[in-house]
Structure 1
Amino acid sequence: MKYRRLGKTELDVSVIGIGTWQFGGEWGQQFTQNDVDSILDKGQELGINLIDTAECYGDHLSESLIGDYISRRKREDWIIATKFGHHFHERFTRTDVFDAQDVLKQLDASLKALRTEYIDLYQFHSGRDEAFDNDDLWTLLDKQIQAGKIRFLGTSIGSNDNLHQTENSTRVNSSVIQVVYNRLDRVPENRVFPSCEQQDLGVLARVPLASGYLSGKYKPGATFESTDVRHRHDAQSTMRKLEEVQMIRKNEVSEGVDMAQWALAWCLRHPVVSAVIPGCKNPAQVEANARAANLLD
């Protein structure tokens, strides 16, 4: 495994992290505690130290599964990133709630679910600019840093071209930008990444495999079950993406190189990107993702 400094936080994160949206049940699979233990144990064995989750991956469900695991391991071995700003209702249904006092309740609920006294990275989660520009919110969060509940703040931008929230990160004491970035979606390179570099912000690239389209598993015409989040994607857009993936595989990926590992390494070759946070359904996928670090040599 390789490690990079997460911007001005000075945290050294593994270049491959573990994204955990799937633990909330919206990837068409229900995860048991044993499933999660196996995934995270494999990650630790391979040198991964970064877990990314959120309050709305289930109703703190993903956090609870991680928390149960962490309670039986060394807390200091992991850098835990979670998020705030939503109330989960049911699969794919959540509402935005960025009121400062409600966010304090969300924070306490996340700490309880994660069974930890502190969160390493607490991220504003895909909110509108009006919610971001609430000084009361950031004042409250700074007080939680002083109280020891949070180590660092970050912003998970909903639009990968949200320059407003990126440019104002330093002003609100946000040290990290999380953004959709992959070989099929390079928009952050134009405006977001230059701002991150100027401010020395850490960058977490989410959806680095483009919802699995860059895994190399799917051909044009592939369909997904109703329980799979990709079932909600526009069919024509999915077809175009899979056709583009075929061309990328043919023209850019060396023979014998795993497509998914290539795609993760491709993200990490951008000097601004600190880490990628792909999801995974089992320990074998964790191991395959971790091998992408070898392609950086």
Structure 2
Amino acid sequence: MNYRILGKTNLKISEISLGTWQVGGKWGDTFDHNNADTILNAAIDAGINFIDTADVYGDGESEKAVGRIVKARKEEIYVATKCGRQLNPHINQSYTVKALRNFVESSLKNMNLEKIDLIQLHCPPTEVLYRPEIFELFDRLKDEGKILNLGVSVEKIEEGLKAIEFDNVCSLQLIFNIFRQRPTELLFEQAKKKNIGLIARVPLASGLLTGKFTKETTFGKDDHRTFNRNGEAFDKGETFSGIDYNKGLDAVEELKKQFPDYDLPLLALKWILEFEEISCVIPGASSPQQILNNLKMEDAPALTQQQKDAIKHIYDTYIKADVHQLW
């Protein structure tokens, strides 16, 4: 396992880490703690030392599973969680200092931890990023020993650029993958300048970049890939990276033609980690085997410039017009 520094947190984290949106089972399933324990232990056994969760994953059950395993293991495991998405309605006016403090307290209780290594605002409305009192709260929480670092998970590039204007923001979590390439422009430049750690989420575009889906593939009714394709429940960009499903399939087929000898998920992860600005990528897993498959990326050869150019051409041809300026 290779390790990278998460910006000005100075935490040395595994470049392939673990996202836990689906760690208790597949999307839409009832949370399975036995499955979660198996996956989390397999991840740590493999050298993963950074686990990303959120208070809304499994309605707090994901945090409970993460905390339980972290306390049971001897290794130093860094925990990142998120707050804010429980607010209903999820609008700027709902974001108050009191509400966010309560969420942090609840996360600490869920995980049975004394401190949180990285607390992240969970894709807040853009207006929240213009409110200094929200960010000042986390300085107080740090002084109280309840958190070590603050990050922000964002939907849009503009939100990320605004968030890192606050000196206490140490990291950004953003969608970055072969089908979402805009961050390589201004955001990467500014993040590097300010020593901001970048956490790449949705690396496989909700599974599209596994190459396993077809036009006949169906998903469960409680799976966001069924009910959120047009942003019915949350930002459309979280589902298939905001791409029309059929257009995504066409782009995947072209990737298969260009890279016939490359396992597509490993190609997707390798491409992300070719960028030194990225601190880690957090693919999810609903089984230990998925973790082991992802870790094969460590042994894959570096991409050539010709291969990178081929990926850029596919993005420009099939994807860019539909997503580039939206996020």
Fold in common (TM above 0.5) = yes
Structure 2 partner of 1:260: 265
Cα separation, 2, equivalents of 1:40 and 1:152: 23
CA contact (8 A) 2:23 2:285 kept: no
Counterparts of residues 124-143 of structure 1 (less than 5 Å): 124-143=121-140
Shift of 1:124: 1.3
- Residue 253 of structure 2 corresponds to 246
Aligned to 1:269: 274
Letter in 1 for 2:255: I
CA contact (8 A) 2:161 2:190 kept: yes
Counterpart Cα distance in 1 of 2:123 and 2:167: 16
Is the strand fraction higher in 1 or 2?
1
Aligned-partner residue type, residue 28 of structure 1: G
User: What are the within-5 Å matches in structure 2 for residues 22-171 of structure 1?
Assistant: 22-23=22-23, 27-74=27-74, 77-87=76-86, 95-96=90-91, 97-159=94-156, 161-162=157-158, 164-171=159-166
TM-score (norm 1): 0.90
- Supply the distance in 1 between the matched residues of 2:188 and 2:221 (Cα, whole angstroms): 35
Cα distance in 1 between the residues matched to 2:131 and 2:25: 32
Q: CA deviation at 1:25?
A: 6.5
Tell me the residue number matched to 1:288.
293
In the alignment, which of 146, 167, 189 is matched to residue 184 of structure 2?
Answer: 189
State whether residues 85 and 123 of structure 2, in contact with CA within 8 Å, keep that contact through their aligned partners in structure 1: no
How far residue 28 of structure 1 moved from its aligned partner, in angstroms, is 2.8
Tell me the CA shift for residue 250 of structure 1: 1.3
Distance 1:172 1:128 in 2: 20
In structure 2, relative to structure 1, the CA distance for the partners of 1:247 and 1:95 (3 Å cut) is: same
Cα offset for 1:87?
Answer: 1.3
Q: Which amino acid is the alignment partner of residue 283 of structure 1?
A: P
What fraction of aligned residue pairs are identical, expressed as a percent? 34
2:211 aligns with one of 216, 220, 243:
216
Structure 2 distance, partners of 1:237, 1:192, is: 25
In 1, the alpha carbon distance for the partners of 2:24 and 2:167 equals 30
The verdict on how the C-alpha distance between 1:88 and 1:100 changes in structure 2, with shifts beyond 3 A counting, is: closer
Instruction: Give the total of aligned pairs.
Output: 288
Q: What is the root-mean-square deviation in Å for CA atoms of aligned residues?
A: 2.1
CA distance in 2, matches of 1:168, 1:109: 24
Q: Tell me which residue corresponds to 1:228.
A: 223
Provide the secondary structure at the position in 1 that maps to 2:57. Answer: coil
Q: CA deviation at 1:187?
A: 1.7
Shift of 1:11: 0.7
Give TM-score scaled by structure 2 length. 0.82
* CA offset digits 1:210-250 (Å, max 9, x no partner): 00000111124433221222112259810110110110121
Mean Cα deviation higher: 42-51 or 95-104: 95-104
Q: 1:88 to 1:73 in 2, by over 3 A?
A: farther
| Equivalent pair of 2:31/2:58 in contact (CA under 8 Å) | no
Looking at structure 2, the residues matched to 170 and 296 of structure 1 have their Cα atoms a distance apart, in angstroms, of 37
Which amino acid in structure 2 is aligned with residue 237 of structure 1? D
